[in-house]
Structure 1
Amino acid sequence: MTNGIDRPDEPTGSTESELHYHVNGDLVPASEATVSIDDRGFRYGDGAFETLRAYGGTLFGWNRHMRRLAETCEALSLDHGLSPDDLHQRIDETLAANDIEDAYVRLSITRGVQPGKLTPQPVDDPTVVVYVKPLPRGGFQGKTVWDRPAVLQSVETRRIPDEALPAGAKTHNYLNGILARTELDQAADEALMCDTDGLVAEGTTSNLFFVRDETLYTPAADGSLLPGITRELVLELAAETDVPVQEGSYELEFVAGADEAFLTNRTWELRPVASLDGTPIGGGPITAQLSGLYDELVERTCYSRTGDWL
């Protein structure tokens, strides 16, 4: 990032030399973890990925991530031929090799090395990479990866419309978000992007929720946004409460007048928004309630070893 801020959505931990990654079926030291310059993921951003969290050695929301990965691969016509069990085993092996139970996990799949032509060929030998970093414990005894609420800034870069690039596809091509991040002031943590109609869509790596008059709002997933797994869970948790929920289209001014606001992604979980374009917002009772329910869910499904709700 041009402003030099250490981004909480890109977790730091042990040095790379201390870690091992899973590359095409082999566990290798981070310093030796490489892919070919002819790989389509490098050449064209032609690949799919999922960001997961492991809590106590359990991959949180695994089936949901596998569903979204399958949807992304279908959108890309990327038939990699790997089963969820195979992918799960590779992640388990990577966590075990690094002796990590609480971690950031990134699973990437590309078409692999193919002739240097834009038109993709059938996938014979996909590139599969598992990358991990240690994170704090989650749940009731957990600690957030962020040290302060997010400072949110709206930017001029627009979210690519679904008609141009499938909004729900989680691909290697993040240039849209990178350009948005280059607009940020020194104090900002996340860029808030609007769609081509000027309506609020999402952050570069996060989904937005906000509260007005005791109603929880979030931009609808039928627009130009990538609906996150954490967003999905928060909506389900909110349905268990008495809090009304609205999904729709909103202008920046409507968001700026919120009583509370928070961002969601797999790494941050629920992160309160301190301000939007300098207007103070902050967290509040509904943010705290949903954060508590999320921690309870993580505790029950990952650390208690008894839950299978996910």
Structure 2
Amino acid sequence: MQYHVNGDLVPGDEATVSVSDRGFQYGDAAFETLRAYGGEPFEWAAHRERLQRTAETLGFGDAVPDDLRERVDETLAANDLDEAYVRLSVTRGVQPGKLTPDEDVEPTVVVIVKGLPRGGRDGESVWDEPADVQTVKTRRIPGEALPADAKTHNYLNGILGRLELRRAATEEFSADECLMRDVDGTVVEGATSNLFFVTENGLRTPSEDLDLLPGVTRSVVMDLAREEEFPVETGHYSVDAVREADEAFLTNSTWEIRPVATVDGIDVGAGPMTKLLTRLFDERVEERHY
């Protein structure tokens, strides 16, 4: 494999960053994860815009290179990949070991890719089964402490949630994703996913005024639902509302749309809306990338 590091393609076993890089030392970095279909990034503009917003939140908006898309294309081509996971990272770079950053920024910019199955109508899912979801005690960090819509290298919140799942696992059962709540007990999201569920009144998903990261795939799914004139509601929901749903699914760039099998051991499962939205998503990918 070859990765893109600071403007150059580098063999994977030589692709390194400095131990003094602030992304390593403090999590002082922005990143995005996206998928490439047919050799092109899916929803590039939305991912690029969110990366820019995160960098601006961290105070180094000018560090995101103008040729970032070209670096992605070069990395895909160098690895002969049309179907891929793509991760973009922009750190504040190497600076003296002090918490307060220097005003001048020489960023570290890294592009990593990994092969995935084909997407679209003739594609296959990266997941084997619908997800078993389990509520965890770890609460989502309040946006007043760490902006929830900033996608930074600091993913300790989600890691702690996933560690809870590991500790709770048995030989018979191990959950695939945690269901995280805010400090008030309102359902927010998964460790690496956004949540949707279906009731007799339509499609539901936690509101963006909560402490969640609004995903790009989440936005696409909401657009698809509205195009079909499905009722779509964003709001504040309890765990019980999700447990009692007719259907539920998770979204992120890698999973796309992943049905939820159970929530805290209670059967939920896929249904007609989940299946239809999955088909519509696959058709959008097919039309735009193949």
Task: Output the TM-score relative to the length of structure 1.
Answer: 0.90
Does the Cα contact within 8 Å between 1:80 and 1:111 map onto a contact in 2?
A: no
What is the percent sequence identity of the aligned residues? 62
What is the Cα-based RMSD across aligned positions, in Å? 0.9
For residue 27 of structure 1, the aligned residue among 9, 30, 48 is: 9
Residue type matched to 2:288 in 1?
Answer: T
Structure 1: segments with no counterpart, 5+ residues = 1-18, 304-310
Partner residue, 1:55: 37
Amino acid in the other structure paired with 1:231: R
- Residue type at the aligned position of 1:223: L
Which amino acid in the other structure matches residue 59 of structure 2?
Answer: S
Q: Cα–Cα, structure 1 residues 80 and 302, in superposed 2: closer, same or farther, change >3 Å?
A: same
Alignment counterpart, residue 265 of structure 1, candidates 252, 257, 268: 252
Partner Cα distance (1:81, 1:95) in 2: 22
1:79–1:122 Cα contact (<8 Å) kept: no
Q: Give the match's secondary structure for 1:163.
A: coil
Q: Which residue is equivalent to 1:236?
A: 223
Which position in structure 2 is the counterpart of 1:176?
157
Equivalent position SS for 2:164: coil
SS at match of 1:139: coil
SS at match of 1:144: coil
- Residues 1:295 and 2:282 are matched in the alignment: yes
**Segments of 4+ moved more than 2 angstroms:** 79-84
Residue 37 of structure 1 pairs with residue 24 of structure 2:
no
Q: CA deviation at 1:67?
A: 1.1
Provide the residue aligned with 1:126 in structure 2.
Answer: 107
In the other structure, the counterpart of 2:58 is: 76
Q: Deviations over 1:227-274 (max 9, x none)?
A: 000001111111011321110000101110000000000000000000
> What's the offset of the Cα at 1:122?
2.3
Give the Cα separation in 1 of the matches to 2:155 and 2:81.
28
- Hey, what does 2:187 align to over in structure 1? 200
- CA offset at residue 302 of structure 1? 1.1
The residue that corresponds to 2:83 in the other structure is: 102
Q: CA deviation at 1:82?
A: 3.8
CA distance, structure 2, for counterparts of residue 220 and residue 115 of structure 1? 40
TM-superposed deviation, 1:79: 3.0
Q: Distance in 1 between matches of 2:116 and 2:127?
A: 11
Deviation of 1:214 (Å):
4.8
2:142 is matched with which residue? 161
1:83 CA drift (Å): 3.9
Preserved CA contact (<8 Å) 1:79 1:123? no
Contact 2:188 2:212 in 1 (8 A): yes
What residue identity is the alignment partner of 1:25? G
TM-score normalised by length of structure 2:
0.96
SS of equivalent to 2:121? helix
Q: Distance in 2 between matches of 1:80 and 1:131?
A: 21
Residue in structure 1 matched with residue 120 of structure 2 by the alignment: 139
Q: Which residue type is aligned with residue 177 of structure 2?
A: E
Matches within 5 A, 1:278-289: 278-289=265-276
Equivalent residue for 1:64, pick from 37, 46, 55: 46
Cα 1:51/1:230, change in 2 over 3 Å: same
Give the residue type in structure 2 aligned to 1:121. Answer: D
The Cα shift of 1:70 comes to 1.2
**Maintained 8 Å contact 2:248/2:259:** yes
The answer to whether the Cα contact below 8 Å between 1:72 and 1:171 also exists between their aligned partners in 2 is yes
Summarize deviations over 1:199-229 as a string: whole Å, max 9, x none. 1000000000000115100000111100000
Q: 1:9 is matched with which residue?
A: none
Specify the alignment match of 2:198 in structure 1. Answer: 211
Summarize the Cα distance change of 1:263–1:123 in structure 2 as closer, same or farther, 3 Å threshold: farther
Check conservation: 2:63, 2:106, Cα contact below 8 A. Answer: no
SS in 2 for 1:140: coil
